[in-house]
């Protein structure tokens, strides 16, 4: 029934996505993080105590998220149909296939009009970097990188954990990822409080990021893209990123499309140097956003098939 729930959740995500008016669980996870952070800061007297508090922030957020989700699924287990509905709905909220595609398409559509200022604003909704002075090529690169990276965070990883532990584990992963998105920054405000969240997010994404190489290679093969270079660049440039995980999916997309990603970006007013990923076989173009979306979709389908076969055989 868990596999059936995952398939239903996946299909609903492809059709519905994340409507802005929808009370998404991540919103409540975010509120829990902010309330807990505020209380930790009140009692923390120095950097060391903030770092310790960061571990409690992680434990409280992930623990509450897991237990609440487990409770909902457990309460619904009195009836098979209710269980499938509850499990499917929760799993659906952990996936972000259509949402990622929609946000990328919005940027693509604005780029087609030639309005760079509006493109920068649209991009700012989905990235943490400063978009104020980005060129057209930099806007495209940032969009491609975001879709590539979030193919792991928003699809492969939650799907992976859903197959292992159902809706509770998938939602716990979502809490881990949300913590990293909110407090996992290496700036003055979060360098200590966000230490635990950033490190544990790296651990949680360790396996999904690495299996993304195989999954995205298969997806590129299905689409007729350069699947050999997809695999080669992903492995070759896997260390060309400050994150231990992000270069895998970004390298896969860069290789499949024959473009170069990475480089210096501005975060919170500070320049952050990143090595380049991929070979600059050609200049990046706006249609690469559409191509990256196609890779993401092909990868999501591949993930469902591969995970079904592997976990079906194991369990």
Q: What's the pLDDT tens digit per position in 49-87?
A: 999 999 999 999 999 999 999 999 999 999 999 999 999
Single residue among 204, 224, 242 that ends a domain in this structure: 204
The structure's pTM equals 0.94
Q: Which helix (H) or strand (E) holds 156?
A: none
- Mean pLDDT to the nearest integer, 79-104: 95
d(CA 277, CA 295): 17
Let me know whether 25 and 136 are in one domain: yes
User: 């604003």: which residue's tokens?
Assistant: 121
pLDDT, position 96: 96
What's the pLDDT at 270?
65
Residue 98 shares a structural domain with residue 237: no
Residue 291 lies in a domain: no
Category of 262 on φ-ψ map: left (φ > 0), alpha (ψ -120 to 50) or beta? left
Regarding whether 257 and 111 lie in a shared domain, the answer is: no
Structure token pair of residue 314:
């194991």
Average pLDDT, the chain: 94
Answer for the pair 263, 272: CB distance below 8 angstroms, yes or no: no
Q: Which two tokens stand for residue 294?
A: 């196609």
**Average confidence (pLDDT) over 11-24:** 89
Our measurement of the distance from residue 35's CA atom to the centroid of its chain's CA atoms, rounded to an integer in Å, reads 24
Domain boundary among 163, 180, 204: 204
Report whether pLDDT(181) > 80: yes
Do residues 129 and 265 lie in contact, with contact meaning Cβ atoms separated by under 8 Å?
yes
Q: Does 200 share its domain with 256?
A: no
pLDDT tier for residue 311 given thresholds of 50, 70 and 90? confident
DSSP string, 93-150: HH--HHHHHHHHHHHHHHHHHT-HHHHHHHHHTT-SS--TT--HHHHHHHHHHHHHHH
pLDDT for 11 equals 97
Nearest one of 272, 280, 276 to 250, comparing CA atoms: 276
Q: Do residues 191 and 214 share a domain?
A: no
User: What secondary structure does DSSP assign to 1-66, as a single string?
Assistant: -HHHHHHHHHHHHHHH---TTS--HHHHHHHHHHHHHHHHHHH--SHHHHHHHHHHHHHHHHHHHH
- CA distance linking residue 63 with residue 174, whole number of Å: 12
Mean pLDDT of 158-184: 97
Are 1 and 54 in the same domain? Answer: yes
Domain enclosing residue 63, as ranges:
1-204
Mind listing the pLDDT tens digit for each residue in 116-139? Answer: 999 999 999 998 888 888 999 999
Question: Which pLDDT band holds residue 208 (cuts at 50, 70, 90)?
Answer: very high
> Could you tell me the CA-to-CA distances from 9 to 84, 168, 197, 234, 256 in Å, in that order?
10, 14, 27, 29, 28
Structure tokens that stand for 233 in this block: 């660049």
Instruction: Give the whole-angstrom CA distance, residue 295 versus residue 223.
Output: 7
Same domain, 57 and 110: yes
pLDDT digits (tens, 9 = 90+) for 234-291: 999 999 988 999 999 999 999 999 999 987 766 656 667 778 999 999 999 999 999 9
Token pair of 165, please? 């532990």
Number of domains in the chain: 2
Helix (H) or strand (E) run with residue 240 in it: none
pLDDT single digits (tens) 145-156 = 999 999 999 999
> Does some domain include residue 163?
yes
- Please indicate, yes or no, whether residues 244 and 157 belong to a single structural domain of this protein: no
């Amino acid at each position: 029934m868990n596999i059936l729930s995952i398939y239903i959740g996946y299909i609903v995500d492809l059709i519905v996505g994340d409507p802005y008016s929808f009370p998404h669980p991540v919103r409540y996870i975010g509120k829990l993080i902010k309330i807990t952070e505020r209380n930790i800061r009140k009692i923390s007297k120095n950097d060391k105590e903030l770092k310790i508090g960061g571990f409690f922030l992680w434990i409280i957020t992930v623990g509450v998220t897991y237990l609440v989700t487990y409770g909902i699924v457990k309460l619904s287990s009195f009836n098979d149909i209710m269980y499938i509905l509850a499990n499917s709905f929760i799993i659906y909220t952990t996936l972000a296939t259509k949402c990622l595609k929609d946000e990328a398409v919005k940027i693509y559509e604005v780029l087609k009009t030639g309005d760079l200022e509006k493109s920068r604003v649209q991009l700012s909704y989905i990235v943490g970097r400063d978009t104020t002075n980005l060129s057209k090529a930099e806007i495209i690169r940032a969009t491609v990188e975001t879709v590539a990276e979030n193919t792991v965070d928003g699809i492969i990883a939650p799907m992976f954990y859903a197959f292992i532990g159902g809706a509770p584990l998938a939602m716990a992963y979502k809490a881990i990822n949300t913590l990293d998105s909110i407090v996992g920054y290496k700036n003055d405000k979060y360098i200590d409080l966000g230490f635990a969240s950033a490190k544990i997010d790296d651990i949680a994404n360790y396996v999904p990021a690495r299996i993304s190489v195989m999954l995205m290679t298969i997806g590129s093969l299905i689409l007729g893209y350069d699947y050999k270079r997809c695999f080669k660049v992903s492995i070759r440039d896997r260390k060309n990123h400050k994150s231990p995980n992000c270069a895998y999916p970004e390298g896969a997309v860069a290789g499949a499309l024959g473009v170069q990603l990475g480089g210096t970006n501005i975060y919170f007013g500070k320049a952050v140097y990143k090595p380049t990923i991929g070979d600059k076989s050609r200049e990046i173009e706006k249609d690469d956003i559409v191509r990256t979306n196609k890779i993401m979709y092909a990868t999501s389908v591949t993930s469902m098939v591969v995970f079904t076969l592997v976990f079906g055989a194991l369990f």
